[in-house]
Structure 1
Amino acid sequence: MIVGVAYAKPTVQVWKHVDVPEGTSAREAIERSGLLAQFPEIDLEVNKVGIFGAICPLDRTLAEGDRVEIYRPIHPEAELLEKKR
């Protein structure tokens, strides 16, 4: 089945389609996507993940067409930084 795995930084957004077997977890899809090697700052013990904007555990079993999103930690002063731009 095909699922998506997405990660975004302020300067780059990546969305990869990954072919995974039935019963694959969010963690397994992320590992298969290659994003952990491409973005070494991703730490699955720190970064939250979700499916279509809803936070989920890493062991969540995926369904065909799910989009797994890896979220970056929010900077405590993000709102102030945004206003300065």
Structure 2
Amino acid sequence: MSETATISIEVVYALPDRQKIVQLTVPEGTNALAAAQQSGLEQEFDDLTINEESHLGVFGNRAAHTQVLRDGDRVEIYRPLLADPKEVRKERAARAKARRETQSSG
């Protein structure tokens, strides 16, 4: 009878006012999505659903759901963005341009 090799990982999720880190021991070959689903964090956070739409990372770098984890990895579950950063920059640039044009014509 052979034993399956295991690795130790962490899965984390954070809100502005609360965070949770779960330490897990999972079989070697476990991917990022499977680890996130096994973490139990969906039961800790009412608005969290971990599925194929979830955005995940490993140590701050975006990770595919199928990324195979290594011993010591930290899987991060990211919240959806409230605003697209590119659109925010465009709007800010447009406002600054409008201010400059108003000041130069005044």
TM-score (norm 1): 0.81
**Bigger relative contact order (CA 8 A; separation at least 6):** 1
Structure 2 match to 1:37: 43
Displacement, 1:63?
0.2
The correspondence for 1:72, drawn from 64, 74, 79, is: 79
Structure 2: gaps spanning 5 or more residues = 1-6, 89-106
8 Å CA contact 2:52–2:65 kept in 1: the answer is: no
Secondary structure at the aligned position of 2:68 is classed as coil
- Of the structure 1 ranges 50-59 and 32-41, higher mean CA displacement relative to structure 2 is found in 32-41
Displacement, 1:38?
1.8
The correspondence for 2:56, drawn from 49, 56, 68, is: 49
RMSD: 1.9
Structure 1: gaps spanning 5 or more residues = 80-85
Secondary structure at the aligned position of 1:42 is classed as coil
Aligned residue pairs total 79
Kindly provide the CA deviation profile for residues 4-55 of structure 1, in whole angstroms up to 9, marking residues without a partner as x: 0000001101111111010001111111110122224223333310000111
Displacement, 1:64?
0.1
* Cα distance in 2 for residues equivalent to 1:77 and 1:54: 18
Richer in helix (by share): 2
Structure 2 match to 1:22: 28
- Of the structure 1 ranges 20-29 and 41-50, higher mean CA displacement relative to structure 2 is found in 41-50
Work out the percentage of aligned pairs sharing the same amino acid.
38
